[in-house]
Chains A and B, each alone.
Chain A
Amino acid sequence: MNNSARSALALLTFALVTAPAAAQTLTGTLKKIKETGTITVAHRESSIPFSYLDDKQQPIGYAMDLCMKIVDAVKAELKMPALKVRLQPVTSSNRIPLMQNGTIDLECGSTTNSVERQKQVAFGPTYFVINVTAAVKKSSGIHALADLNGKTISTTSGTTSVPLIKKYEKTKNVAVKEIYGKDHAESFLLVADDRAAAFVMDDILLAGQIANSRDPSAYRIIPESLRQEPYSMMLRKDDPQFKALVDRTIGGVMKSGEIERIYAKWFTSPIPPKGINLNFPMTPAIKEAFASPNDKGV
Chain B
Amino acid sequence: MNLGIFLEQVPDGDGPWWLMLVQGLEWTLAVAALAWIVAFVLGSAIGVARTTDSRWLVRLGNAYVELFRNVPLIVQFFVWFFVVPGLLPPVKRWVVSVDPITYQLITSVVCLGLFTAARLAEQVRAGIQSLSAGQRSAGRALGLTQLQTYRYVLLPMAYRIIIPPLTSELMNLIKNTAVAYSIGLTELFFRTREMGEMTFRYFEAFGAATAIYVAIAFAANRAMALVERKVRVPGYIGGAK
Asked whether any CB of chain B lies closer than 8 Å to the CB of A31, the reply is: no
Known: A116-B200, A180-B184, A193-B85. A170 touches B96 (CB 8 A): no
Question: Which one of A79-87, A92-100, A243-251 is at the interface?
Answer: A92-100
Chain A residues lying within 8 Å of B100, measured Cβ to Cβ, are 152, 177-179, 195-196
Q: Which residues of A contact B175 (CB under 8 A)?
A: none
Query: B198 contacts A163, CB within 8 Å?
Result: yes
CB-CB under 8 A from B11, the residues of chain A are 163
Q: Which of B12, B82, B92, B183 contacts A166 (CB 8 A)?
A: B12
Main secondary structure of the interface of A (DSSP, over half): mixed
CA distance in complex: A106, B196 (Å): 21
> Contact between A195 and B96 (Cβ–Cβ < 8 Å)?
yes
Q: Which residue of B lies closest to A187 (CB)?
A: B184
Which residue in chain A gives the minimum CB-CB distance to B194?
A158
CB contacts (< 8 Å) of B194 on chain A: these are 157-158, 162
For residue B150, CB closer than 8 A to chain A, the reply is no
Number of B residues with CB within 8 Å of any CB on chain A: 28
* SS class, residues of chain B in contact with chain A: helix
Residues 196-235 of B, flagged 1 when their CB comes within 8 A of A and 0 if not, give: 1111101000000000000000000000000000000000
Q: Which residues of A contact B13 (CB under 8 A)?
A: 163, 166
CB pair A179 B184 closer than 8 Å: yes
Q: Given the known inter-chain contacts A93-B202, A193-B86, A194-B96, please indicate yes or no for A157 contacting B184, CB distance below 8 A.
A: yes
B181 near A: Cβ within 8 Å?
yes
Question: When chains A and B are docked, how far (Å) is the Cα of A163 from the Cα of B197?
Answer: 11
Contact A186 to B193, CB < 8 A, known contacts A167-B12, A170-B12? no
Identify which of B82, B96, B193 contacts A93 (C-beta below 8 A): B193
Would you give the shortest CB distance from A194 to chain B, in whole angstroms?
Answer: 7
For the complex, what is the distance from the CA of A167 to the CA of B12, rounded to whole Å? Answer: 6
Query: CB distance A96 to B200 under 8 Å?
Result: yes
Pair A159/B197 contact, Cβ less than 8 Å: yes
User: B182 contacts A182, CB within 8 Å?
Assistant: yes
- From 149 to 179 in chain A, residues with beta carbon under 8 angstroms from any chain B beta carbon are 152, 157-160, 162-164, 166-167, 170, 177-179
Give the distance to chain B from A121, nearest Cβ to Cβ, in Å. 8
Closest-by-CB residue of B relative to A100 is B200
Q: Is B155 an interface residue (CB 8 A)?
A: no
A159 to B137, CA, bound (A): 62
B53 cross-chain contacts in A, Cβ below 8 A? none
Q: How far is the CA of A189 from the CA of B10 in the complex (A)?
A: 28
| Chain A residue at smallest Cβ distance from B77 | A182
- Whether, in the assembled complex, B190 has its beta carbon less than 8 Å from a beta carbon of chain A, the answer is yes
A195 to B82 CA separation, bound complex (whole angstroms):
10
Cβ-based interface call for A117 (8 A): yes
- B30 at the A/B interface (Cβ < 8 Å)? no
A182 lies within 8 A of B181 (CB): yes
Q: Is A120 an interface residue (CB 8 A)?
A: yes
A7–chain B nearest beta-carbon distance, Å: 22
Cβ of A195 and Cβ of B184 under 8 Å apart? no
A92 to B104, CA, bound (A): 24
| Nearest chain A CB to B219 CB, angstrom units | 27
19 A-B residue pairs with Cβ-Cβ distance under 8 Å, sorted by A, are A92-B197, A93-B202, A96-B202, A97-B202, A117-B200, A119-B200, A152-B100, A157-B181, A157-B193, A162-B194, A163-B11, A163-B12, A163-B13, A164-B12, A179-B104, A179-B184, A180-B190, A182-B181, A195-B100
* Interface residue ranges, A against B (CB under 8 Å): 92-93, 96-97, 116-117, 119-120, 152, 157-160, 162-164, 166-167, 170, 177-182, 186, 189, 193-196
The 10 A-B pairs of least Cβ separation, nearest first, read: A180-B184, A158-B197, A179-B100, A166-B12, A167-B12, A163-B12, A163-B11, A182-B182, A120-B200, A96-B200
Question: Could you list which residues of chain B lie within 8 angstroms of chain A, going by C-beta atoms?
Answer: 10-13, 82, 85-86, 92, 95-96, 99-101, 104, 181-184, 186, 190, 193-194, 196-200, 202
Seed contacts A167-B12, A181-B184, A186-B82; 14 additional CB < 8 Å A-B pairs: A93-B193, A157-B193, A158-B198, A160-B198, A163-B10, A163-B12, A163-B13, A166-B13, A170-B12, A177-B99, A179-B184, A182-B181, A182-B182, A193-B86
